[in-house]
Amino acid sequence: MDQITILKGHIIYTDTSDSFQVLENGYIIAHDNIIKDVCEQLPQKYTEEEVIDYGNSLIIPGFYDLHNHAGQYLQCGTGMNKQLLEWLNDYTYNLEKDLHDEAYANIVYERYVNDLVRFGTLGACTFATSSPVGTACLFETFKEKGLRAYVGKVNMVRNAPDFIIEDVYDSIASTEDIIMKYKNEPLVKPIITPRFAPTSTSESLKMLGELALKHKIAVQSHLSENPAEIQWVQELYPSSENYTSVYDKHNLLGKTPTIMAHAVHLSDAEIELCKNDNVYLAHCPDSNINVRSGIAPVKSYLNKGLKVGLGSDIAGGHKIQMNEAIVRTIQSSKILSVYENHEHLTVAEAFYMATASGGSFFGKLGKLKAGYELDALVINDDILYKERYTLLDRLEKFLYIGDDRWITARYVAGKKIDVV
């Protein structure tokens, strides 16, 4: 017998990136985890069922964070005066090393996953650390919480301190162990995660590409974040035409579902490659500003038909809140509109990226319509004189100034989940 869930409230989502769908006082009807109907009147056959009435609250899809580093969560908002390499050496690597310890990892990851839930992120693609034990802790924490995730054991075999780099064979073996252990989980899945081209070798990338193909596992990495890094990749892989083709030629671009974070400085050839390979670009606006990478021309990527989702990129980005990533995405595009005369992004476009586009990497998610899985947030906005505002004004207010206290319920795969 199906478990029937019926939610009532003001339903808002984006079906396409150009506008919002709004249903005032509507019903969402789900059987188990699947939405069967979204409607103005409750159909006759459901009138005996319990309706969870959220009154004047908004019901929106959950947020999906396509790029962040669970292994850097303790670092959020520190070292922001530093240059990238100094930041990695003084803060990040030491922290990632400590997360090789199981007890430590359990405490940190518990806070990280709970904060994702708290702020409405119902699915995350995340980098753990190079530690198999620590990475397993992160899998277990996600499982226990009932959240969606792609969790990557980070692979890095050179150009980082000895205490966190691995032997290439150990790296591959432990990655395959994790794949075998978690590949059949319903909500939490492994993802092949070379840190980025500079900490990889052609050999390690080749073996990771083979793993991805053998087990049909998704891939995530970093791509074209800043000019110095791009130059470095060219020096390390002199036979590659460009940064993107380094991943492509090792079967790590689009052979299986792929996310590339940043993509601030892509050439036309690289844009074509990403488009043809159905790559998801994870736009990380706060991070790109904080570490002075530049601003990715997202509007132009969308116009060219690329798939773009959003990433908090903690801890290069400082805020785990995806509503903040939405706002900074709009703001960044406005800056490009001033400095480079680009068209700027609308609220609907940025919202679409964080919900429908990001959600589609995880499955039929990110829209509140029949056939999609029921992942949703209930927003009880803490504002005076609600009657002044349209429902879309109220949504915009939540995105711009709301916080976790405005989110009063969270549903993942049809189940209500709680914040600790």
Question: Binding of its own copies at residue 341 (CB under 8 A)?
Answer: no
What is the DSSP code (8-state) at residue 263? -
| Gap between the Cα atoms of 135 and 155, Å rounded | 11
Question: Binding of its own copies at residue 346 (CB under 8 A)?
Answer: yes
Binding mask 235-274 for its own copies (x = CB under 8 A): ----------------------------------------
By C-beta, is 60 or 218 nearer to its own copies?
Answer: 60
Distant-in-sequence, close-in-space partners of 338: CB < 8 Å, separation ≥ 6: none
By C-beta, is 47 or 81 nearer to its own copies?
Answer: 81
Instruction: Please list every residue from 44 through 103 that binds its own copies, using CB under 8 A.
Output: 74, 76-81, 95
What is the DSSP code (8-state) at residue 78? S
Exposed e or buried b per residue across 242-260, where buried means at least 16 C-beta atoms within 10 angstroms of its C-beta: bbbbbbbbbbbbbbbbbbb
The residue within the footprint of its own copies, chosen from 389, 415, 416, 417 (CB under 8 A), is 389
Binding span for its own copies by CB under 8 A among 141-149, 210-218, 275-283, 399-407 = 399-407
Could you tell me the smallest distance in angstroms from the CB atom of residue 163 to its own copies?
Answer: 17
Instruction: Please list every residue from 281 through 310 that binds its own copies, using CB under 8 A.
Output: 286, 289-290, 292-295
Number of residues that bind its own copies (CB under 8 A): 44
Question: Binding of its own copies at residue 338 (CB under 8 A)?
Answer: yes
Under 8 Å between Cβ of 58 and 12: yes
| Gap between the Cα atoms of 234 and 224, Å rounded | 11
Question: Binding of its own copies at residue 391 (CB under 8 A)?
Answer: no
Antiparallel, parallel or unpaired: β 188-194 and 415-416: unpaired
3-state secondary structure of 182: helix
Strands, E assignment, 44-187: 52-61, 63-69, 121-127, 148-152, 154-155
The residues that touch its own copies, with contacts defined as CB under 8 A, are 74, 76-81, 95, 107-108, 111, 286, 289-290, 292-295, 318-319, 327, 330-331, 334-335, 337-339, 344, 346-347, 383-385, 388-389, 393, 396-401, 403
